[in-house]
Each structure stands twice: as structure tokens, then as C-alpha cells.
Amino acid sequence: MNILVTGGMGYIGSHTVVELMQAGHEVVVVDNLTNADISVRHRVARIAGREFSFQQADIRNRQAMEALFSVHKFDAVVHFAGLKAVGESTEQPLRYYDNNVGGSVVLFETMAAAGVKTLVFSSSATVYGDPARVPITEDFPLRATNPYGQSKLMIEEILRDTAQADAGWRIALLRYFNPIGAHASGLIGEAPSGIPNNLLPYIAQVAEGRRDHLNVFGSDWPTPDGTGVRDYIHVVDLAAGHVKALDKLAVTPGLHTYNLGTGRGSSVLEMVRAFETASGKPVPYKIVARRPGDIAECYADTGLAERELGWKAQYDVARMCQDAWRWQSTSK
């Protein structure tokens, strides 16, 4: 298939481009490079053994998107493009709604006009908010608690309405839990600009000596060691899930929703210890007050993805940390 990947130069997008190309698909990437670097293009090509087409553009630019669809005959779209920092979204909600929701509407309208109605959407476990229990199944109530999560939920609702109105659409909503790690080659990985928003890049920078210590937000959560528990998934496992979702859509119309996680939660302190083992470096930390909006634990029930996609996460936390450290310690 010929596949458009929006935001394909970013962390998850770039790993998915690798998996798509290795599965034999042709790939075109559109990215405005707000949170990505052009060097990723050549790194991905080195891993995949061939080049892909790239267009620097913003998906909110209707003229640019229409031009892209007029040049290429796409079979499907994998949609990653969007802003993704929870904290920043609470400070700049209008920017998040404009970029994530507004950009998605332009993309979907352009797809419909071009007759391209197969889509894999990059959603998030944040749509579940603070779950009443764990593990989380796809039929849990949806109640996002911040503008980033709300933007993902709004896009899901738009796609549910679109699929209801037009049976020609084939849509997969993939709800990610906590992607970490990097490609085993060490050529691509997570490269946050400024202070990392996510746990593992922050731990990695502490281990490397770029930061003095890790702040652990609360040690009195109702979890085994008092620190927050999350479902960490290797980014390569996550990327493979997108290939499986496209395979599913090729034979099954309609809208489908899947959790992508490991089905197991790990605490902050467990992740600290795992990274110390992987890196051989100490990770000093300080216990500080809980952050507003945080929750005690969040991990997935992945049974539906296993049954319907034939997909299951393969890598454990030790491997995630090893690959993240290889990327952190060799990438400059």
C-alpha cells in the first residue's frame, strides 16, 4: 500500500515508518518539524534500507494537504501529527485544540474529498481519565481530564460520527499507554526539546548526568511502593501495532478501537531501578508532592488487540531501558 504518515518524523511516527517500510509498504511523510528533526529522515532510511518521500507542511494548511493528495494516490493514512504535552496543554488549550482538532478536521476533509477513507489514528489512554479500576478495557467510560486528552477524545468523537455517517470509512483508534525505548540500532529514539515531559527521557538524562536528580511526584499513592504505576510499552512494539491495524482494516470495514500496552503496570521506582541496571549509572531522585491531575495507576487490558489484530507486546521493561540507554548515550 501507499501510506501517508502525518507526523512521521516524530518519536512514534518515525518508528512506525520503519515498520511500515520493512513490511513492504510505500510511505510518504508529512511533518511540520515542530517537534522533530530533519536528520530523522536519513536515520530511518538507513534502518529500512531505502528512502521515503517527505513533505514539510502543516496539516492545518488545507492548500498544502490538497496538493499532497493530488500528487500521490494514497491507500491509507496513519495520523500522528499533533502536540502532545499534557502540562503544556493546560497552559495553552486553544493552541492544542487548534492544532490537534483543527488540523485533524482539515486532514479528514481532504481525505474524504480524495476518496481515501482508511485511517489509523494515534489516540491515547488519557481519554480514560482516572479509571475506576484496572486493567482498562476499551469500553471504559471516556472522561479526559486535560486539554491534550480532550483533544484526542474530540478527534475520536469526530471519527465515530464520520464512520456512522459514511459506511465507506475504515478506521482504527489506537489508544497508547506509555511508549518508551528506542530502535535497537540506536539511530532513532525519543529526543525531547527542553525539559522532558515523560518519565523515561528524564531518567535517562539524570543517568547521563545532564540533570541532577529525578523528582518523584508522591510516595503515598495506593500502589505497592507508593509511587505511580503506568503501563510502559516499547515503541517498536507500539509501531508494529499500526501495521497490524492496517492489515485489519484491509479486510474489515467500520471503526475499531484498541488499547496498545503490555497489560502490566510498573511503578516509578521500579523504572528507576530498571534503568540503573540497564545503564550501570545511578539515578538520584527526590520525593516531592503529588502533581494535580495525576492518578495512582493505569494499565491496559490488551486482550482485544491480541484477539482481533494478532498483536501482543514482545519486549519487557529491561529491554525498553536497554534500548533507551543505547539511544541516550550514543545520540548527539
Per the residue annotation, which of 11, 96, 128, 148 is the catalytic one? 148
- 202 included as an active-site residue: no
DSSP string computed for 98-153: IIIIIHHHHHHHHHHHHT--EEEEEEEGGGG-S-SSSSBPTTSPP---SHHHHHHH
3-state helix, strand, coil in the chain (%, to 5): 45, 20, 40
Residue with cell string 517527505: 54
Beta strand ranges found along 10-132 (DSSP E): 26-31, 53-56, 76-79, 118-124
Phi (first) and psi of residue 192, to 5 degrees? -65, 140
SS3 assignment, position 325 = helix
User: For residue 192, is the peptide bond before it cis, meaning its omega torsion is within 30 degrees of 0?
Assistant: no
Residues designated catalytic: 148
